[in-house]
Structures are given as structure tokens and as C-alpha cells.
Chains A and B, each alone.
Chain A
Amino acid sequence: MSELIAPLAFVFIGSAILLLLVSRIGLPAVPLYIVVGLAIGEFIPPGLTLELAQLGIAFLVFVFGVNVEPERFFSVARDSEYVAAAQLFIVGGATFAVGFLLGLEPVSAAFFATAASLSSSLVGRKLAKTDIRENLIHGRLTESIHFVQDLFAIGIILVLSSAVFIPEAATTGTVLDGVALPLGYGVMILGVALAIRVYLFDFLVSLSGDSDELIMLTSIALLISFLALSEFVGVSIAVGAFAAGLAITRDFDANLSLQSALESIETFFTAIFFVTLGSLVAIPNVDVVALAIALGVSIVILKPVVTIVVLIREGYDARTACLTSFSLDQVSEFSLILAISGLLAGQITQQLFEVIILASAVTMITSTITYQYDDRIYRAFARTGVFDRVNTPNIEHGIETAKPLEDHVIVIGYGKLGSGVTAVCRDNETTVVIVESDPDRYELARDFHDTCVFGDAMSEQTWERLNPSAAKAIISTSSQRGLSSYLLSKETDADLILRADRIPEAIELHNQGAAYVTVPDFLASEQFGETISRLLEADAEPTALREENRRLLREQVSDARIVGQFPVDYLEYHR
């Protein structure tokens, strides 16, 4: 016990200091942990750190497993499986070839290639957090691609960890047996986990009553049992940990407490795992640096290019494709787990291990940079004309044939606000053009309106079709600052109505020439205050209030003319 104290103290004190120092910049924590590890490497005795790192793997994969909901897989995956698969095969294949040419053994080259092709969801999700929350299309894509890749990663870990047994099997039996047996066991363990999930877990929860502590301990006990099981049959503990996570559903009443418990455990072991990982790297020699650069290039350049091409082929516009690719250009934490399992099993050399760790620390940091400047990088590329061929927005229904656009209103975004705005314009017999870059919303807009443009509101090609100089008004329902500035820079006499989420920004945009800037929460608060006062004063029964308010909601939604919120027949008269 006491030999653990000093290393753990270094891990956490170092991490806390670095996290505090960079808390203003918004760097993700994972690369910082690796940097801490690099710095304090000599204070941590190596044998001990490997033990710690394995614990870290177990808990990290476990928490990931808990968050996986197999039921949701198909709705989340959609287009993403192609992108994830393309990354895996094209980027992975190319990097495998490069690694092979640079003199790596096939198994080592496979590790090398995996490091290049998988992206980190811990980093990517943290970076794209705002985009995901605002449900921007590239945020959604990022999230789902990461999810699919993580599942691939588990599969790869299963396969590669089985390869460990080749040498042993070669002496006693056939090579095939060596791979197939652990693989079969791995699948069996996953099967057991699913059976527990479906048949047993609810019962375990009901046994633990309402006690948060017992539910957490039950989960940990499941984890330990699965770890023991995988150890017993000779499969990677990562597979056992994932299976344990899978055995736990998130679908029960007290799951919030389990979630927050797991969050703490995840944070605790994330720090331990990544700092330990960094501490295993010695001062790199030339070979290590050269290989790391090769790996880095394939992650920072090849991977984004492949992602962009595939996304554009899937029908997304160039900007969405670029922005998505900029949150995928780093090494996955699963590749690190693979690397360390490979090192422990003697499948890869210390040298290759260091290459992967170095490349991951660097790309996780560069990824933060490309993400922060994503729009500028996109624009720099767009100016060179590479996207010209693919970036032509689809003009649907009538723009081409009808008389030229004049005195029209351009509405950017067809969400709740956008659909309401569009309805008001049409009531007032004004021509409306809707600009939308999310395929789903675009489809919705087309169902209700004639003139829609699919494309990015910040691309020149889109604007060429909109004839802004003759527009009566441009109404943006997106609060992206970059978009607002872009619109303000357009030369047009049209009245600009923008949206901002914060008051100072709204005032600034207004001063810069916007006719009006909506701050949704501010407007909503005025309405809300009235309602609350009415509620608190009402003498009515709570249940009656509830019914009344529910009815009111329907009225409000139809008054605000928000489409896509209720079934189509409910809004039939909007057409």
C-alpha cells in the first residue's frame, strides 16, 4: 500500500497543477495527463505503474461499456459506420503499408495502423461539446463516428489480444486454434454479459433497494467478476471490462446516482491511466521520433482528408465535412489501451509503444488547435478552390424557374425558430428562401415550403443563389458568432435580424448594424415570469393546472408555427 502513495501523489498533484494552469485555454485533460506523465516518469517505479495502468484500462473500458446502449446503436450509427469503416480501412491500410515499409513486423504494423485510424472520443467529445449540445450537424456526426469507432476498437482489442496466444499455440497445436479459442471465449463473455443485462440486472438492482452505495458496489462486483472470468479464460481484461459495462443497463430509476458515481471513478482512473502511460516513455531517440512523425502525419493529414472525402460522398456539404474531420484527428484512447496490452504481452517493442504514446500526446494537442481554428482552416482551403466542384448547393423547387428573387426574406436555419419565422413571412405574403445544411431539417423544410437551399450559410456558392442585394431581410436563427459576423460583412441593404445567446454580444451586433438581435432566453424569461406568477396565484388543483398547461403548450406551439414538433396531421393547416 505505502509504495503506491508516492506515485499516486505525484500523479494527482502534477495533474491538478497542470489542469489549473491551463484551465483558461480549454485544452482537454487527456494530453495534459500524458505530459504530466512524461515529466514525472522517473519518480514512478515501472513495475508498479503497469499494474496501475491495467487497473486504469479496466475502469475506463468498463465505464465506456456502461454508456453503450446496444438498443440505440442503429439510430446513432446511420452514416457514421461508413466513415468509421473508411477511416479504419483506408487510413489503417495506408498506415499499415507505411509501417511495414519502415521495417515493422506485421503485428507491430497492425498496432501502428490502429493508432492512426481510430480517433479519441474522450478528446473529441470534449472538444465538440458545444456543437453536440447545440445539436449542430457536425457535432452530431462527430459523436456518432466516435461511438462507432469505439465499438470497432473493442473488436480490434478482442482480435489482437487473441493473437497473443499464437506463439504458445504454435508449440502445442495449430496457429488457428490459438486465435480462435480466445476469440470464441471473448464472444462467449459478451454473450454472458448480454444475458445478465436482459435477465438479471434488474433483479440485482431491486435487491439493492434504494441504496446508491449498494448499486455502485454491485456494478463494481460485476466488473471484478468479469475481469476474473476473462483472466481465467485468457482474454484481454479490456474485453472483460467492456462486457461488465454491457451487463449494466442505464435504464432504471436510480441510474443517476450510478452515473455520477461512475463519472467520479472514470475521472480518477483517467488521470491514473494516462499519467502512467506518459511516465512509461523515456527520452525518445531518432527512430522513435521519425516513426512518431510518420504516424502523426497520417493522423493529422491523411485521416482528415479521408473523412472529408467520404462525408462529401455521403452528401454532406464541404464545411460540415471539414469541421467534423477536425474533431477526429487524434489517436484514440483505445489505441493506447491496445498499445499497453501489446507491450505487456510482448507483441510490440518498447520503441513502438513510445512512438504511439508520443504521437497520441502530440495529436491530441494539435487536434485541440485544429478544432479551435476549424472555421479558418476550412475557409483557407475553400479559397484555394478545392471544394468548388463539390460545394454546389442544391437549389430545389422553383428558384431557377420562377422570376428572379426580389424583396424576399432569407431565413437561415429551419429549427424551432426558423420554422416559426418562415410561417410568419408566408402569412404576410413574402417570398421566403430557407438555407439549411442539416439534411434532416432540410427535408422537413422542403415538406412545408417551396424554396429551400441546401448548403452552408457561410459559403459563397450558397450566397450566389440567394441574391442578397435584392433581399428585404435576412433572418438568422443560429447564434454562431462567426456566422453573425459573416452576415454583417455582406454588402446588402436588407435588414439583418440576428440571434445571440448572450446580451453583450447582442448589443455589440446591434451596434455593428444589425436591425435587431434576438436573445431567446431573454425574451422567454419575460413570458415565463408572467406564467409563474399566474401559477403561484392560481387556486386551481395542481392536476387541473397540469391539464390546462398541457393544452396551452399545444396552442403555443401552433401559434409560434413550429413545425416538425407534432405529427404532421396536427399541423395540417400550415401547409
Chain B
Amino acid sequence: MGAIGVFSYIAARYLLPWLFRQAAGDRETFFILGIAWAFLFIFASEELNLSIEVGAFLAGLSLAQVQYTSELTERVRPITDLFMMVFFSSIGLRIAADELLLYWQEAVIASAVLMIGNFAIMFFLINYEDFTPETSFLGSINMVQVSEFSLVVGALAVSQGFVGEPILGYLSLMAILTMSLSTYLIKYNHQIYDRTKPIWDRFDSPDKKDVELKMYDNHAVVIGLDEVTKPVLPALKDRVGDVVIVDRNPQTADEFADSEYDVIYGDFKHSELRKEAGLKRAAVVLSSSVQSEINQIAIREANDDAIVIVEAGTVDQALDRYEEGAHYVTIPTVLTGLKIRAYLEEYFTDREGFFETVREDVKRLQAANESGSYLTDGGKATEEVNTDE
């Protein structure tokens, strides 16, 4: 197991980033690679007669070190959900009703001890780190349930013959009890805190304070970068502040890795990524996608005060977006059309002047080419990535 762990660590440092960079341009390869990586570890653990659960965990651990993790997590989540349903239902199926209830008194007592004990220990630990009582309270009350891993471990123990089915039933009953109770505790955690505030205030002291985690607020969210939106980044930074780019083009992630812009590699369709980018708190949302679905989400989820700017492929779509609440809808071909119209007018009225303009224009193109723009990468990768339109 140690060897697998070491391999996992080394791979995460040297092999995986390279592998995923190769695959990131193609959605299918990217996904299959992630799954294959997990199976590599699971299979190796099985062949070596080790726990496949730990093997899978180590595979996940090494994947977590890659910059494409959040996108991979979102892509794999449906599969996880599917198998989680199968796993937990199968645990349920293995336990007869009498086995579930065989140790019910013990389960109730253990649940009570666990919930109170867990809360007290967590509260003590967080409080000890000098967080405010509110943080300590909320942090602890959110953790008063049994972990799903206790069921994984329980199932493993049954299959290895260490314990009998009734013990698994006892664990399951605890999980059912604590998980259902904690749902309500978490849902009403702020209310409970307000009601019981006097108790927790006793732990307060002047040197207690919360460490502020970086949270985007009143920032700009840019969905996908292309040649139309890229030049406006400095203006956004200047006038709005933080700029978060959500893009599923791996080149964007690489290009802006050390810049003043934050990049989230992944597909805007995943709600977790939208949360990570703080879409709901953004002051400006700028989308360079022409996919109606993406833009509709951006418009719907953005704050009412936010300015939403999206792209559209056709005038019909543009009018629909305005109807839905976009503040500005750009149609690149219309903008281009205006420019070309001006050029052609010149061509017909003043041919020499036209060629002069063209020379200027080609110079600008060359400058853009040398500065390395999106339209210069020779193609394949970007095309692959932006294809769903």
C-alpha cells in the first residue's frame, strides 16, 4: 500500500499534469482518462490483495493535485451518484428489518453520545483556535452525523467476516438517525444559534476573530474567452475589480495561470463551478458563448443589479436574450458587418484609400499574431473545445 501511495504522489507531481494536458482538449478523452486512473489503482490494489477502497482513495488523492480537478469532479459526479445509490441501497437490502432494529436501544444511545460528543469536541477544538463563538458553533453543529464511510467500513467488515449483519444494521440505524436529525440542525443552525446565543457568548473574548476566506463579491465573471472578449479583460479589471474566468479551454488556464485574473477550468454547465465563480454575487457577467442555454443560465442566476453581457449567433437569439434580461447582447457578425461595410464603401469610392486602410489593418493583425492571441493557435485544441454551439 505504501508503494501505491508513493506512486500516487510521484504521479501527481510529474505524470498526471502532463497526461491531463494532453487530454484536456477532448472532453471524452479527458473523462475516460480520469476513470481509467481510478481503475488503475483499484485494479492494482485488488491484484495485490489490498483494500480497493483505499486504492480508489489514493487515485482520487493524486487526481486532486491536478489543476483540472474541479471539472473532473463535476464530470464524474453523475457516475458517483449512480453507484452511490446502488451501494447504499444494497446495504439496505442486505439488512433484514429485525437486524436493523436488533440493537436499536444501543443505536439510539450511541447516536445521542455521538451527536453531543462530536459537537462538544469540535466546538472545543475550533474555539481553541480562537475563532468567534458563532463560527465554532456553526462549524460544530454541521458535523454531528455519522460519516457514510462508517457504512463503507461496516460493509467491508461484514464481507471479511469480522462482524455480523446485525452490526451493519446497528451502524445503518445510527446513520439514519444522525443524518436525518442533522439535516434539520443544519437547516436551522442560525436560528438555533440566535436562540442559544447567551450560552456561547461566554466563550467570547477580544482576541477571537475569524480568518476571512477569499470570497468573490462585486466581481466580474467571464464565461469563456475568445478574441472578442479577451481584449476587454483589462478594462474589466480596471473598473470592476476581481475578474474570474470560467473556461473549458485548457490553454486559457495555462495562459492566465500567473496573471491577475483567476481562471476556473471547466464547463459553466456545472452548478458547482458557477458557485465557485460566485456568479450570484458578480457585478458584471460577460459571456462569450453563443449557446443559448449557457447564456440563459447566466442571465437567470446573475444578481438583479449585475450587468449581464452575452453573445448571440443570430438576431433572433439576441432579441430573446434581451427579452430574458440581458443588458447587452453582441452579435460578432453584426459588428463585423458594420466594419466591412465601411471598408467596402471606401473600396468603391476611394480604392487607393482602401488599400491604405488594409495595410494598417494587416499591421494590426500581425501585431496581434505576434502577441499570441486566441485566433493564432493554429486551431485544433480551441476548436475542439468550443464546439457545442
Q: How far is the CA of A130 from the CA of B173 in the complex (A)?
A: 54
B23: chain A residues at CB < 8 Å are 19-20, 23
Residue A377 is within 8 A (CB to CB) of chain B in the complex: no
Cβ B341 vs Cβ A516 within 8 A? no
Please report which residues of chain A, range 236-291, place their CB below 8 angstroms from some CB of chain B when the two chains form the complex: 253, 255-257, 259-265, 267-268, 271
Question: Taking CB as reference atom, which chain A residue is nearest B300?
Answer: A253
CA of A330 to CA of B51 in the docked complex: distance in angstroms? 44
Q: Name the CB-closest residue of B to A420.
A: B337
New contact pairs (19) apart from A12-B32, A535-B309, CB-CB < 8 Å: A2-B46, A5-B43, A6-B43, A15-B32, A19-B29, A23-B23, A220-B85, A256-B269, A264-B78, A420-B340, A501-B375, A507-B362, A524-B333, A525-B227, A528-B228, A532-B328, A536-B307, A542-B327, A545-B327
Instruction: Decide yes or no whether A395 CB sits under 8 A from chain B.
Output: no
A204 contacts B by Cβ under 8 Å: no
Question: Bound state CA distance, A416 and B340, in angstroms?
Answer: 11
Give the complex CA separation of A449 and B369 in angstroms.
Answer: 38
Known A-B contacts A129-B387, A520-B332, A542-B305; the reply to A553 vs B40 at CB < 8 A is no
Contact B43 A528 (CB under 8 A): no
CB-CB contacts of B292-330 with A at 8 A, as 1s and 0s? 011001001000010101000011101100100111111
Q: Given the complex, which residues of A lie within 8 Å of B322, measured CB to CB? A: 546, 549-550, 553
Q: Which residues of A contact B271 (CB under 8 A)?
A: 212, 257
In the complex, what's the smallest C-beta–C-beta distance from B23 to chain A, in angstroms? 6
| Known A20-B23, A212-B271, A519-B375; contact A542-B366, beta-carbon cutoff 8 A | no
Given contacts A29-B28, A473-B347, A550-B322, contact A504 B39 (CB under 8 A): no
Query: A428 contacts B345, CB within 8 Å?
Result: yes
Does A559 reach chain B (CB closer than 8 Å)? yes
Chain A, residue nearest B344 (CB): A424
Once the chains bind, are B376 and A523 in contact (CB under 8 Å)? no
B40 lies within 8 A of A9 (CB): yes
What's the A-B contact tally at a CB cutoff of 8 Å? 278
Asked if A527 is at the interface of the complex by the 8 Å CB criterion, the answer is yes
- Which residue of chain A has its CB nearest to the CB of B41? A9
Kindly state the separation between the CA atoms of A525 and B235 in the bound complex, as whole angstroms: 13
A residues near B74, Cβ cutoff 8 Å: 260
Q: Which of A26, A516, A565 has the most CB of B within 10 A?
A: A516
How near does chain A come to B197, taking the closest CB pair, in angstroms?
Answer: 31
CB pair A529–B232 under 8 Å, yes or no, is yes
Chain A residues near B284: list those with CB within 8 A. Answer: 536
Does A559 contact B338, Cβ atoms closer than 8 Å? yes
Docked Cα-Cα span, A12 to B26, in Å, equals 16
Residue contacts A-B, CB under 8 angstroms, 21 given? A8-B39, A12-B32, A19-B26, A19-B33, A23-B25, A29-B32, A257-B270, A264-B79, A416-B337, A417-B337, A428-B344, A507-B366, A521-B226, A526-B231, A533-B232, A533-B235, A536-B240, A546-B326, A549-B329, A557-B315, A562-B333
Q: Are A261 and B36 in contact (CB under 8 A)?
A: no
Interface positions of A (Cβ within 8 A of B): 2, 5-6, 8-9, 12-13, 15-17, 19-20, 23-24, 26, 29, 129-130, 133, 212-213, 216-217, 220, 253, 255-257, 259-265, 267-268, 271, 415-417, 420-421, 423-425, 427-428, 430, 473, 495, 501-504, 506-507, 510, 515-516, 518-529, 531-533, 535-537, 542, 545-546, 549-550, 553, 556-557, 559-562, 565-566
Does A562 contact B35, Cβ atoms closer than 8 Å?
no
Q: A523 to B336, Cβ gap below 8 A?
A: yes
Cα(A297)–Cα(B271), bound, Å: 48
- Asked if B91 is an interface residue, CB under 8 A from chain A, the answer is no
Docked-complex contact B26 and A502, CB < 8 angstroms: no
Residues of B within 8 A of A268 (CB): 31, 35, 79
- Interface pair A503/B40, CB less than 8 Å apart: no
Find the A residue at minimum CB distance from B268: A256
Q: Is B378 an interface residue (CB 8 A)?
A: yes
> What residue in chain B is nearest A254 (Cβ atoms)?
B271
Q: CA of A531 to CA of B330 in the docked complex: distance in angstroms?
A: 9
How far, in angstroms, from A549 to B43 measured CA to CA in the complex?
58
Q: Which residues of A contact B94 (CB under 8 A)?
A: none
User: Are B315 and A562 in contact, with the CB atoms below 8 A?
Assistant: yes
- Is the pair B315, A566 in contact by a Cβ cutoff of 8 Å? yes
Given A13-B40, A271-B32, A417-B340, A532 and B361 touching (CB < 8 A)?
no
Interface residues of B, Cβ cutoff 8 Å to A: 19, 22-23, 25-29, 31-33, 35-37, 39-40, 42-43, 46, 52, 74-79, 81-82, 85, 226-232, 235-236, 239-240, 267, 269-271, 284, 286, 293-294, 297, 300, 305, 307, 309, 314-316, 318-319, 322, 325-341, 343-345, 347-349, 354-355, 358, 361-362, 365-366, 368-369, 373, 375-380, 383, 387, 389
Chain B residues closer than 8 Å to A417, beta-carbon distance: 333, 336-337, 340
Q: Among B79, B307, B344, B383, which residue has the most Cβ atoms of chain A within 10 A?
A: B344
Nearest CB of chain A from residue B128's CB, rounded to whole Å: 35
A217 and B81 contacting across the interface, CB-CB below 8 Å? yes
* Bound: A521/B326 CA distance, A: 21
- Shortest B307–chain A CB gap in Å is 6
A8 to B79 CA separation, bound complex (whole angstroms)? 14
CB distance from A434 to the nearest CB of B (A): 15
Given the complex, which residues of B lie within 8 Å of A16, measured CB to CB? 29, 32-33, 35-37
Which residues of A have CB within 8 Å of B226?
Answer: 521
For B327, give its contact among A12, A507, A535 (CB under 8 Å): A535
Q: Which residues of A contact B344 (CB under 8 A)?
A: 421, 424-425, 428
